[in-house]
Amino acid sequence: MSLVVAFSATTTGCHIYKKFDMPESSAVTAEYVEAQSQPVDSTALGNLPWQQVFIDPVLQDIIGQALDNNVDLKNAKLNIDVAHANMLGARLSYLPSVVLSPNAGISRSSIKGTSWSEWTYQIPLSVSWEIDVFGKTLNAKRSAEATYQQSKDYEQAVRSQIIGAVANCYYAISSIEGQLDLQRQTAKNWEKSVQMMKDVWEAGNTTAAAVFQSSAQYESILASIADLETSLHEMNNTMSLLVGVMPQTWAIPAAQSMSLPAEYNAGVPMVALANRPDVRAQERSLAVAYYATNSARAAFYPSLSISPVGGFTNSLGSTVFNPGKWFINLAGQLTAPLFMRGQNIARLKAAKAQQEQSLNSFENTLMKASAEVGSALVTYNNAVAKEYHLAGQVENLVKAVDVTETLFLHSATNYNTTYLEVITAQQNLLGAQMNFLNCQLSRSQAAINLYQSLGGGR
C-alpha cells in the first residue's frame, strides 16, 4: 500500500513541472493542435495588415485617428503594462528577499548612587530564500506569463473591433449619402413628372387622379429625405464617438463600397480560427487554469527556505563588546503541510473544476468562431451575386421608365391605365436603386465582418 501511495505522489509531483499543452481530449482540440503546427500563411485574409484590406485613403485616415484616440484601446494597452509588471514580479520571485533593519537602544543603571548608561546598536542584514523544490514559484511565473500574453490578445481583439466598427460606420455614412443623392435627384425628376401630369391633364388626356397620385408620391420622397438626413446625423455622431472627438460632420464620399482583395485566401478553417485573438485569449485562460491546478497540487508538498542573517553589533548576548563585532547566523526551515482542515483538498478540487470549465469555454469559443467565419463568407459571396442581379434590374427598369413615359405622352386612348404604369415604373426604379445601394452596404459590411472574424486588424 505504501508503495502505491509513494508512486502516486511521484507521478503527481512530476506533473506539476510540465508546461501547458493543449489537451487533445476531443476532435475539436485535436484539430486545433494540428492547425497550430502548420506554418503561418501571410496571404491569409486574417493575417493581412488592415491597410492592405481598407485601401480607401479617407477611411485609412479615420481608422488611424480612432486607433490613436480610442479610450478602450488605451485601457487595453495599459492592461498589457499591468500584466507585464506582474510577470516581472513573478520572475523575480526566484531571487531572495534582502532586508536591512538597523536598530539602537540605550540602557541606564543605578547602583548605590552610581549610575551609568550604555548605548547598544545592531545593523543586521537578513536574507530569505525559498527553494522552489516543488514548482510553486515556477507555476506562478508561468501563469503570469500566460496572463501577459492574454492581455496582448485582448488588446488585439479591441483593436480589431475598433477597425471593424469604424469601417462599418464609414460605409454606412457613405451609403446614406448615396441614398440622399438618389432621393434628391429623384425628387427633382418627380417634380417634373408632376408638372407633366398636370400638363397632360389640362390637355384632357388624363384625369385628376393621375396628378394626385404623382403629387402624393413626390411628397413621400421628400419625407424620406428628412428621415435619411436624421440617420446621417446620427451616424456622424457615432463615427465621432468611435474616433474619440467631439461630434462633427465627416466628409465621406457618397455610395462607396468595399471589396476584398482580388486574390485572397480565407485560410484553412481551423488554421484561420487559430489566429483569432479571442480564441488565443481563451487558450491563455485554459493555460492559467492549468497552472492554478499545478499550484494547488504543489501546496501538498513541503516548502524549503534558507534564512541567513548577518550584521554588525556592539552587543552580543549579555556581554558588551566595544568596539563592535560582526555576527552571522544561518538557518534552514522545512515546512510540510500535515493537516490544513481540508483546505488544500478543496482548493485542488476547485482548481480542477475550473480547468474543466476553461476547456469547455475554449471548445465553445472555437465552434462559435467557426460559425461566424462560415456565415460571414456565405453572406459576402451571396451579396456579390445579389449586387450583380440588382444592377441588371436597375438597368432594365431605367429602360422601362423611358418607354412608359414615352407611351403615356403619345397615347390618346386608354390613358387611365397608362398613367398608373408610369407611376408604377418610377416607383419600381426608385425601389431597385435603393435596394442596390443597400446591397452595396451589405457587401461592404460582410467583407468587414469576414476580415474581422478571421482575426484581422493587425
Q: What is the CATH number of the domain that holds 185?
A: 1.20.1600.10
Of 157-166, 401-410, 427-436, the range with the lowest mean pLDDT is 401-410
Is residue 309, in this structure, part of any structural domain at all?
no
Residue 334 lies in a domain: no
If one compares 428 and 333, the residue with the highest pLDDT of the two is: 428
C-alpha 217/C-alpha 195 separation (Å) is: 13
Residue pLDDT, tens place only, 122-156: 767 676 767 777 778 888 888 888 888 989 888 88
- Does the structure show a pLDDT above 60 at 25? yes
Instruction: Tell me what the mean pLDDT of segment 283-291 comes to.
Output: 91
Task: Calculate what percentage of the chain has a pLDDT beyond 70.
Answer: 81
Report pLDDT for 118. Answer: 66
pLDDT at 14 over 60: no
Domain hosting residue 149, numbered range: 14-94+136-300+372-453
Indicate whether 173 pLDDT > 90: yes
What confidence score (pLDDT) does residue 10 get?
42
Q: Please provide the distance, in angstroms rounded to a whole number, between the alpha carbons at the two ends of the chain.
A: 58
Q: What is the pLDDT of residues 347-404, one digit of tens each?
A: 889 999 999 999 999 999 988 988 888 888 888 889 999 999 999 999 998 888 888 8
**How confident is the model at residue 6, as a pLDDT?**
38
Q: Give pLDDT, residue 59.
A: 94
Among 125-129, 156-160, 286-290, the minimum mean pLDDT is found in 125-129
Residue 245 has pLDDT above 80, yes or no: yes
In a domain, 62, yes or no: yes
Going from the C-alpha of 379 to that of each of 171, 307, 433, the distances in angstroms are 17, 67, 20
**Using an 8 Å Cβ cutoff, are 392 and 381 in contact?**
no
Percent of residues, the chain, with pLDDT higher than 90: 24
At 312 the pLDDT is 66
Q: Who wins on pLDDT, 426 or 169?
A: 169
Q: How many domains does the chain have?
A: 1
Using pLDDT thresholds of 50, 70 and 90, give the confidence band for residue 112.
low
- Within a domain: 51: yes
Confidence of residue 46 (pLDDT cuts 50, 70, 90): confident
pLDDT at residue 339, as a whole number: 63
Q: Where residue 3 falls among pLDDT bands split at 50, 70, 90?
A: very low
pLDDT band at 212 (very low <50, low <70, confident <90, very high): confident
In a domain, 289, yes or no: yes
Model pLDDT, residue 2: 36
According to the model, what pLDDT value does residue 116 have?
Answer: 61
Of residues 9 and 398, the one with the higher pLDDT is 398
**Mean pLDDT, all residues of the chain:** 81
* Domain-embedded: residue 107: no
Work out the average pLDDT over 40-53.
Answer: 83
Is 393 a member of any domain? yes
**Range of lowest pLDDT (171-180, 225-234, 297-306):** 297-306
Split at pLDDT 50, 70, 90, the class of 266 is: low
Instruction: Tell me the mean pLDDT in the region 336-341.
Output: 65
Q: Report pLDDT for 191.
A: 82
Confidence band of 208 (pLDDT split at 50, 70, 90): confident
Task: Examine residue 243 and state whether it is found in any structural domain, yes or no.
Answer: yes
pTM of the complete model:
0.78
